Amino acid sequence: MEAWWRNSIGYIIYPASFKDSNGDGYGDLGGIVEKLDYLRELGVDLLWICPIFKTPMHDSGYDVSDYYHVDPRFGTDEDLSKLLHEAHLRGIRVLLDLTMNHTSDLHPWFMKAKADINSKEAGYYIIKKGRWADGKLLPPNNWGSFFSTSAWERMPGTDDSFYLHVFSPAMPDTNWENPELRNEYFKIARHYVEMGVDGFRLDAISHLAKDPSYADSPLPAGKEGYVLDPDRFSNRPEILSYLREFREKGVDENTLLVGEFGGSLQPGEARLYSDRGRGPVNLVFNFDTVWNNGAYGSIDKRDDEIRTDVISLKNNFMRWYPNAATSDMPLYWCNHDHPRVLSQYGSVEYRSESAKMLFTTLLFLYGTPFIHYGDEIGMSNVTYSKIEDFLFDDANRDSLKELRAAGYDDETILRFWRRANRINARTPMQWNRHENAGFSHAKPWVKVNDNYREGVNVQEEMEDPYSILNYFQYAISFRKSATYNDIVNNGRLEIVDYNHPDVFAYLHRGSSTIMCISNFRPYQVYFTFNYELADIVLHNYDGVLLSNHVFTLRPFECYLLKIR
């Protein structure tokens, strides 16, 4: 049987920002149910819903305090059952986001660990003795967290111990060496599979195992005495056996497991996880294609230093392509942890052209595409003018302290965050031009992007036959047809004119041959075309500028062609 996800079109929902159904300013499960018909019309049939379990919201629900219940902000357990039922009626499958690398510090396991360091639950966490130096108690080593702090926090109820947290101190890391802890997670997964969930996105899965020596990182520590060195807690070999056990004891073969594997995972290592029939995970997400414009950590850069490196993008997609022979592959431009792709690689000046171009480029490349909610209407980065608008989670609050301590003024921080902060991809979905973009009648938990009044909303785009939304729907209908699906999944992919610095072009040879040609620049460029054109399938401009085997490509112009 062919894996069902090979023919799926995925869609990422950040639930707090999708649709509020009960008027509290927070998106919820009821809101997702309201919009299932919209999603089906669009052609989406696989939802990845970011966390919905009980949480104190230090990290938008990635800090779970109870895995067995839906957080009241998002609704009830019954709402989840209803969502699954209604989605399945429409042929839409649902993935939940499962965070197993850490819990919230308010999870009962951690509460018990704090109350009694000898409890079973204390063994669910990574607790180590600190080091004494000059009469001062220091953390066990110099590891820094992803959230701009030491990775260690004093363990309450002890004189000399610390717990590890590779993200916020409010998110203690779990101890996967402990079989009892692992069993707890297998039980949680089984519970949701029995409820009808079709799979899980496994959050931060590359950090489940840490360097067992817990020795200092060799990287130079900052003046606070710590340094972020992901190699100390990423992609260690033990993870493979943990995930095999998860597949064996937690979920069956038909359950889709999408693993979030951070930065440094290499395609060869990824194959161990996702080889069809042998690997425990089905789709391995990597971040290689996300920041290919220099925006990551770009606080010291000028605006004109941010420029898409098209050759590096081609390289990064192609270095993963060989895996497609033996593994199923996911494809995406961005998720809730990145800026909006339209602002990264496209342009708000050419919103329609660039949104269509980016989607076409991704859709016919290889693997299962995931749309980040709102990309189908051309949502872009925020234009917030106040630092406070960004302070919605620990990551930003900690990062603000760090940046100010390093001497950056607020204007510089604002410019950087508007370019690179993850809130950019978390603003409320823009449904119409009414109050709060039709997302909620109440004040939304985070500011809506004002451009919903300038036509960037579902309702107005539905009414415009040339809108981004209608283009997405039309493009998806091709991608899902048996012929195109077969060409994309099984045809041979080749990049054309690899060294072209501005154009991303590729060919797929299958039962017929298709070619995608995309201009990634906000200006006109030329592209030599030595093929025989049979048909234009998709195009984001009127009129074809082709003469003497050269395409003149207007800003962000893109074609999907059939060639002979």
Instruction: Give the nearest distance from C-beta 266 to ligand NOJ in angstroms.
Output: 20
Beta-carbon count within 10 A of 108 CB? 12
Query: b/e for 391-406, b at 16 or more Cβ within 10 A?
Result: ebbbbbbbbbeebeee
Number of residues located near ligand NOJ, criterion CB under 6 A:
9
Applying the rule CB under 6 A, the residues between 351 and 390 that interact with ligand NOJ are none
For 191-219, give the DSSP string.
HHHHHT--EEEEETGGGSS--TT-PPPSS
Applying the rule CB under 6 A, the residues between 396 and 425 that interact with ligand NOJ are none
Instruction: Give the nearest distance from C-beta 126 to ligand NOJ in angstroms.
Output: 16
Q: Which two tokens stand for residue 551?
A: 């395409």
Query: b/e for 284-296, b at 16 or more Cβ within 10 A?
Result: bbbbbbbbbbbbe
Residue 59 lies near ligand NOJ (rule: CB under 6 A): yes
Using CB under 6 A, pick the residue from 66, 177, 184, 337 that binds ligand NOJ.
337
End-to-end CA distance of the chain: 32
Q: What is the phi/psi pair of residue 173, to 5°? A: -70, 145
Among 169, 152, 172, smallest CA distance to 161 is for 152
When the beta carbons of 17 and 451 are compared against ligand NOJ, the nearer one is 17
> For the range 433-440, what are the long-range contacts, defined as Cβ-Cβ under 8 Å and sequence gap of 24 or more?
433/457, 433/459, 433/460, 439/17, 439/18, 439/19, 439/20, 439/27, 440/19, 440/20, 440/23, 440/24, 440/25, 440/26, 440/27
Report yes or no: 518 and 549 within 8 Å, Cβ to Cβ.
no
| x/- letters, 165..194, toward ligand NOJ (CB under 6 A) | --x---------------------------
Residue 204 lies near ligand NOJ (rule: CB under 6 A): yes
When the beta carbons of 102 and 500 are compared against ligand NOJ, the nearer one is 102
Residue 208 lies near ligand NOJ (rule: CB under 6 A): no
Instruction: Using alpha carbons, list the distances in angstroms from residue 271 to 316, 486, 487.
Output: 16, 22, 22
Residue 153 lies near ligand NOJ (rule: CB under 6 A): no
Residue 99 lies near ligand NOJ (rule: CB under 6 A): yes
| x/- letters, 240..279, toward ligand NOJ (CB under 6 A) | --------------------x-------------------
Q: Which two tokens stand for residue 388?
A: 């406070």
Residue labelled with tokens 């409820």:
195
Q: What is the phi/psi pair of residue 379, to 5°? A: -65, 145
When the beta carbons of 16 and 469 are compared against ligand NOJ, the nearer one is 16
When the beta carbons of 234 and 354 are compared against ligand NOJ, the nearer one is 234
Using CB under 6 A, pick the residue from 14, 26, 62, 392 that binds ligand NOJ.
62
Instruction: Give the nearest distance from C-beta 306 to ligand NOJ in angstroms.
Output: 23
| C-alpha 23: how far from chain center | 27
- Angle at the Cα of 323 (from 258 to 228), degrees rounded to 5? 60
Instruction: Using alpha carbons, list the distances in angstroms from residue 207 to 52, 125, 130, 197, 210.
Output: 21, 14, 22, 24, 7
Report yes or no: 555 and 350 within 8 Å, Cβ to Cβ.
yes
When the beta carbons of 162 and 167 are compared against ligand NOJ, the nearer one is 167
| C-alpha 198: how far from chain center | 18
Report yes or no: 541 and 518 within 8 Å, Cβ to Cβ.
no
Q: Which residues pair with 132 in a beta bridge?
A: 137
**Residues known to be catalytic:** 203, 260
> What is the 8-class DSSP label of residue 179?
H
Report yes or no: 73 and 16 within 8 Å, Cβ to Cβ.
yes
What is the number of residues in the chain?
Answer: 564
Q: How far apart are CA 270 and CA 261, in angstroms?
A: 9
Q: What does the binding site for ligand NOJ look like in residue numbers (CB under 6 A)?
A: 59, 62, 99, 167, 203-204, 260, 336-337
